[in-house]
């Protein structure tokens, strides 16, 4: 039977996506000897992404899981200690900050970087999960390039859905926006742009009930099974791509009530920094970015978090009793 341990470090990083790994690389190179707790999905959303063509440094597409493996290897190479565990609770009221893992191990740190990411909301329909990366996506900016000259559908009615539809209209031959209601929630000016676009059509009062695949060994999306909410009828819409745009959920449940978050649960950081409402706690990546949500922006904010943490730790002695005592420290 394994005995629970307490791991102590100057900097603890929660999350193993582009933000967490980049923070670890910068922190390790600065001599902070960080510990990174990988979490439930090491590698983040890129582990379910097939071809990645928009991450700088690669002339041809690379696989998302491979890219994450490379980031992990780089973080370990420069001195990061990576632990496979899932943090179930955190205590941020006093230093050292403390986190408890599902393994029973505890983690104590002088500073913390939160990079736990966010997850796209999905419809939960048959075929959606199986065809993820093969015609089904939750990110037009990431995957729209693969649907140039093809017909696609966008699911949703808010700003995100309208933005996705307008973006895809510059690539696809036709975009169909499918919404369960008879009006959109998006801002009026965005709706006007949508309605005027010659490549975009809208299907109102309709839900998607199934993502249908092609036959054969290499299956891909061929059509959507739709249900008319007013008439009750079912029919198929042939498309090559379905983009789900019904929102994201940041993985911030552990921190609510301790850190300042916005109305949707994203951690609030000071403009131009990774600093949160608690001195010594920093946030990076999709957990605090509700706008861009790209691997490269997550990596950039991970760099910011590590640099902010390094600067903060240089001003705070390791035996400092409480973060509240340092509210006035400017770094």
Question: Which tens digits make up the pLDDT trace of 216-258?
Answer: 888 999 999 999 999 989 999 999 999 999 988 899 999 989 9
Report if residue 329 sits inside a domain.
no
What is the phi-psi region of residue 83: left when phi exceeds 0, alpha when psi lies from -120 to 50, beta otherwise?
A: beta
Supply the pLDDT for residue 328.
33
- Please give the pLDDT value at position 318: 56
pLDDT at 293: 82
Q: Which residues of the chain have pLDDT under 70?
A: 1-2, 47-50, 317-331
What is d(CA 273, CA 287) in angstroms, rounded to the nearest whole number?
Answer: 14
Q: Is residue 327 part of a domain?
A: no
Task: Clarify whether 142 is annotated catalytic.
Answer: yes
CATH number at residue 187: 3.50.50.60
Same domain, 72 and 213: no
**Do 240 and 152 touch, CB atoms closer than 8 A?**
yes
Active-site residue (options: 85, 143, 286, 289): 143
Looking at residue 329, its pLDDT comes to 36
Q: Is residue 45 part of a domain?
A: yes
Task: Spot the catalytic one: 85, 105, 142, 289.
Answer: 142
Domain endpoint, select from 244, 263, 286: 244
Structural domains in the chain (count): 2
pLDDT at 48: 63
Residue 127 lies in a domain: yes
The reply to whether 130 and 231 lie within a common domain is yes
Place of tokens 């790209």: 294
Specify whether 327 is catalytic.
Answer: no
The residue range of the domain holding 171 is: 122-244
Query: Which of the listed residues 216, 244, 272 is the one where a domain comes to its end?
Result: 244
Considering the domain architecture, whether residues 33 and 182 belong to the same structural domain is answered as: no
- Give the position of tokens 């490379």: 70
Residue 2 has a pLDDT of 66
From the list 51, 69, 139, 303, the catalytic residue is 139
DSSP string, 247-291: -EEES-TTTBTTB-B-TTSPBP--TTS-B-SSTTEEE-GGGT-SS
Instruction: Based on the fold, state whether residues 238 and 259 are members of the same structural domain.
Output: no
Q: Summarize pLDDT for 190-208 with one digit per residue, the tens.
A: 999 999 999 999 999 999 9
Q: Are residues 51 and 75 in the same domain?
A: yes
Known catalytic residue: 109? no
Evaluate if pTM is beyond 0.85.
no
Token reading at 236: 């198929």
**Are 161 and 80 in a shared domain?**
no
In this prediction, residue 211 carries a pLDDT of: 97
pLDDT of residue 326: 37
């Amino acid at each position: 039977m394994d005995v629970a341990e307490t791991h102590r470090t100057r900097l603890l990083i929660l999350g193993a996506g582009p933000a967490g790994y980049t923070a670890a690389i910068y922190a390790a190179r600065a001599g902070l000897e960080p510990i990174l707790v990988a979490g439930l999905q090491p590698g983040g959303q890129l582990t379910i992404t097939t071809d990645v063509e928009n991450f700088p440094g690669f002339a041809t597409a690379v696989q998302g899981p491979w890219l994450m493996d490379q980031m992990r290897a780089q973080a370990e190479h420069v001195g990061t200690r990576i632990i496979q565990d899932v943090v179930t609770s955190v205590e941020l009221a006093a230093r050292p900050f403390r986190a408890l893992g599902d393994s029973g191990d505890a983690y104590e740190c002088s500073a913390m970087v939160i990079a736990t990411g966010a997850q796209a909301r999905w419809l939960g329909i048959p075929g959606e999960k199986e065809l993820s990366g093969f015609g089904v996506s939750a990110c037009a900016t990431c995957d729209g390039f693969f649907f140039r000259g093809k017909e696609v559908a966008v699911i949703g009615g808010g700003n995100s859905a309208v933005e996705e539809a307008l973006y895809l209209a510059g690539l696809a031959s036709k975009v169909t926006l499918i919404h369960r209601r008879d009006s959109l929630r998006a801002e009026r000016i965005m709706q006007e742009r949508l309605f005027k676009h010659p490549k975009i059509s809208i299907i109102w009062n309709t839900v998607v009930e199934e993502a249908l695949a092609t036959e054969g060994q290499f299956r891909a999306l061929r059509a959507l099974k739709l249900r008319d909410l007013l008439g009750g009828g079912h029919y198929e819409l042939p498309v090559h791509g379905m983009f789900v745009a019904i929102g994201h959920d940041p993985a911030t449940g552990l921190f609510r009530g301790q850190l300042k978050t916005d109305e949707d649960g994203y951690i609030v950081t000071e403009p131009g920094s990774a600093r949160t409402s608690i001195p010594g706690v920093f946030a990076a990546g999709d957990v605090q970015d509700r706008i861009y949500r790209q691997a490269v922006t997550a990596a950039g904010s991970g760099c910011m978090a590590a640099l902010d943490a390094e600067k903060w730790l240089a001003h705070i002695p390791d035996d400092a009793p409480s973060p509240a005592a340092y509210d006035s420290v400017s770094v």
